Structure 1
């Protein structure tokens, strides 16, 4: 379980005690409980232009004042992408970077025609590609460029928010994109997949090293936390607040309270929570971030001087509207496969991936699939399934946790079993990456026929 001590008020240094192993274990513990895009909508179809391009961000204490330095990065543009469930996006993706790239949209199920590497080739510098993204589910998703090679600058992901057709009773809906940076002494940033020697670790929320939220008393906020870090499992704590988990990896969950207000997020994973701005004007709640080595404050939620939005906070929220996910999984007749993580054997770097390679597994459409994921590496490894969401199974395969996932961190020497319904025919990627900044991103593919 996550071990979180009480903080003095105000804290000199946050007491938020975790180790790397605690972070991975806490993932299982949780289970127990814009310039761009240019958009034109017509009849449920929306044209979206996304460009992978050079960008800059202020990360150093001496920026970004007059003449202050900024750090070169790569990005897909600025603000969150927001659309409605049921829309179909006509995407034009352009690559203005010096390395080959493809668009990877994390969490969008069943879009085989848009699948990077398996269906869409990596675009050379200056290339363009067009495809459709039907938004069949509401939730919090993530778009990022996938590269043949690591490149010379880190790439920023871009949140994709799909709202449902039914209203949700919140006063504010805000994304908190957490990113991790490794800065050299000269202020340049080291891309993931490279040795971070002699670098300084920095975290940002929405591009800022300190991020504050202000809301009137008794306002209900939906906070969509995204771990945009490329390699690190992170814990986020909202000090002295009741935090109610509502969705994980883009899919609604049976609501449950986050233990001591803390969330644990694997790289690329997303957790939506509801919190109420409780207390008199001027009350503030620290937002703490823990990377397995130390905790640090990265912002706060403050009760503003505006009049309360209602006399008292809302009662506990009911579950979010569903996304028509499978009600049951037939584990008795499921197709079963074993996958080894933590080693490069049979896995490929994106630059070496060939669609002609043998699939990791093949399943018939409409059949349940159980994967046994064993981490043979020396450190935790993160597994990501494209195309389908999965259930994390109990140890005896006699049930599953009450939420869906698309990403899972697995401790060294451990085996976790997951299950999903092979709903969508096509070819899809699977990914693994060790929780080490220098570790390569590795891919394979699977088929649903």
Structure 2
């Protein structure tokens, strides 16, 4: 495996193979429930208001000036919305910004009409307007919500609009603290103002809009937490950056990953205590704090010399030691076996972007900055030809071929997939909805196309998405 792919879980692969056979793969078959229409059902509570509007927030430590941002309910990230598995989330999205908005729920295997891609799955909410949102996630897990509008996602996200939806298990694991951590990237000037957005630029034809400052839950890092020695913490980590791809390192205690991209996994310890962290990626991680007081536990972003993101300090009476974390219950209809030889095998070929030169610069000659990226020879279009169109239940093995000079994080909407090994000798023992494809490499993913509707396969680097690095498929 490439070092940019998530580390393998320490599961006994022979047990999996014994259950499903050498020609089978575990696929994603979410259960479907009929959802009511957008209109309120008589007697149910009114939807919760979620207002996107200008706000001010001190992103850098005092005495730095506050920054004018866009925020949900005055905070960036927006409020951590919490529901129980099987419950319905009802929101009234009020758009008081200057841009059309639509909220994509990354990790939601729900109805296609509620995927939240403005201009594709539903109309965006115009400035000054509002819209009702009603979703019933079939899965427990950590879901990232952020703007996704065809051609118009980079600016509202880069100004601060994002947040987490936490869908709690019916029987969640016992922890002393369940802590959402949203990492955001800001491009700030010396006056702390957000710098102008230029979508058709050399930056968008390269790595994307990389910021000059990271925040954790909207605060300057490291995010401080104080807990008693021996406490158990569940971290819900989400990368809400426009383009910042990084790795995370866990310091001071062992980390146990219990879910990836909203889907449970057999607990595993990250290789070298590190995890890859691309835009849109989410992890649920258990940390057991040291038994002694004044101990320090942290997470460091491996950016430059390293940037501490979280610092937990122990203080107070010691809690008794706990047993190893246990696996979460699998979400509905995960897993199910499929026959690999029956799979449709489409390709998602990514080309374009700046070309590296011998002096370690980028050559943009011959590149149309309005369309610097190509998928299968073209750019994303809802009127264009789909990547594939299949009947519900069809197994898919998709080759994602990255012929660019940049890492390409790719998200499959409405489905969870397995990442196959490059030598086709197995698969990673957890589900994903976002995968990083290293520059110049081809990887394969496999899933069941079981969710009816039209779905995107898209870049999670928002500048690339806005400039057409996406395609779509149809399940009937």
TM-score tier (shorter): 0.7 to 0.9
1:352-367 paired onto structure 2 within 5 Å: 354-367=381-394
**1:308 counterpart residue number:** 318
Count of matched residue positions in the alignment of Structure 1 and Structure 2:
410
Q: 1:428 to 1:164 in 2, by over 3 A?
A: same
Structure 2: any 5+ residue segments left out of the alignment? 11-39, 353-372
| Alpha-carbon shift at residue 430 of structure 1 (Å) | 1.7
Provide the TM-score with structure 1 as the length reference: 0.83
Distance 2:9 2:175 in 1: 26
**1:403 counterpart residue number:** 430
Q: 1:418 to 1:138 in 2, by over 3 A?
A: same
**2:163 counterpart residue number:** 158
Which piece of structure 1 moves more, 156-165 or 198-207? 198-207
**2:446 counterpart residue number:** 419
Q: Provide, for residues 232-284 of structure 1, a one-character-per-residue CA deviation record: whole Å limited to 9, x for no partner.
A: 22222221311111100010011111223322211110111111111311111
Q: 1:91 to 1:327 in 2, by over 3 A?
A: same
SS at match of 1:356: coil
**C-alpha RMSD of the superposition:** 3.0
67, 70, 81: which is aligned to 1:71?
Answer: 67
**1:327 counterpart residue number:** 336
**1:82 counterpart residue number:** 82
Distance 2:397 2:234 in 1: 33
**1:11 counterpart residue number:** none
Q: 1:144 to 1:433 in 2, by over 3 A?
A: closer
Q: 1:422 to 1:52 in 2, by over 3 A?
A: same
Structure showing greater relative contact order (alpha-carbon pairs closer than 8 Å, 6 or more residues apart) = 2
**2:413 counterpart residue number:** 386
271, 282, 289: which is aligned to 2:283?
Answer: 271
Contact 1:433/1:442, CA 8 A, preserved across alignment: no
SS at match of 1:69: coil
1:141-152 paired onto structure 2 within 5 Å: 141-147=143-149, 148-149=151-152, 150-151=154-155
Q: Provide, for residues 103-154 of structure 1, a one-character-per-residue CA deviation record: whole Å limited to 9, x for no partner.
A: 1111101321113233211222122222421111000011111244344752
Distance 2:290 2:42 in 1: 42
Q: 1:404 to 1:397 in 2, by over 3 A?
A: same
Distance 2:470 2:50 in 1: 24
197, 200, 219: which is aligned to 1:208?
Answer: 219
Which piece of structure 1 moves more, 367-376 or 120-129? 120-129
Q: 1:209 to 1:192 in 2, by over 3 A?
A: farther
Contact 1:214/1:304, CA 8 A, preserved across alignment: yes
**1:261 counterpart residue number:** 273
Which piece of structure 1 moves more, 339-348 or 138-147? 339-348
Q: 1:43 to 1:300 in 2, by over 3 A?
A: farther
Structure 1: any 5+ residue segments left out of the alignment? 2-24, 34-39
Distance 1:366 1:59 in 2: 47
Distance 2:281 2:160 in 1: 17
161, 167, 173: which is aligned to 2:172?
Answer: 167
Distance 2:52 2:380 in 1: 21
Contact 2:375/2:469, CA 8 A, preserved across alignment: no
SS at match of 2:336: coil
**2:28 counterpart residue number:** none
| Alpha-carbon shift at residue 441 of structure 1 (Å) | 6.5
Contact 2:84/2:169, CA 8 A, preserved across alignment: yes
300, 310, 329: which is aligned to 1:299?
Answer: 310
Q: Provide, for residues 368-404 of structure 1, a one-character-per-residue CA deviation record: whole Å limited to 9, x for no partner.
A: 1111000111111110111101100122434311001
Contact 2:229/2:290, CA 8 A, preserved across alignment: yes
117, 120, 127: which is aligned to 2:122?
Answer: 120
Contact 1:45/1:87, CA 8 A, preserved across alignment: no
SS at match of 1:113: helix
| Alpha-carbon shift at residue 95 of structure 1 (Å) | 1.9
SS at match of 2:346: strand
**1:178 counterpart residue number:** 183
**1:130 counterpart residue number:** 132
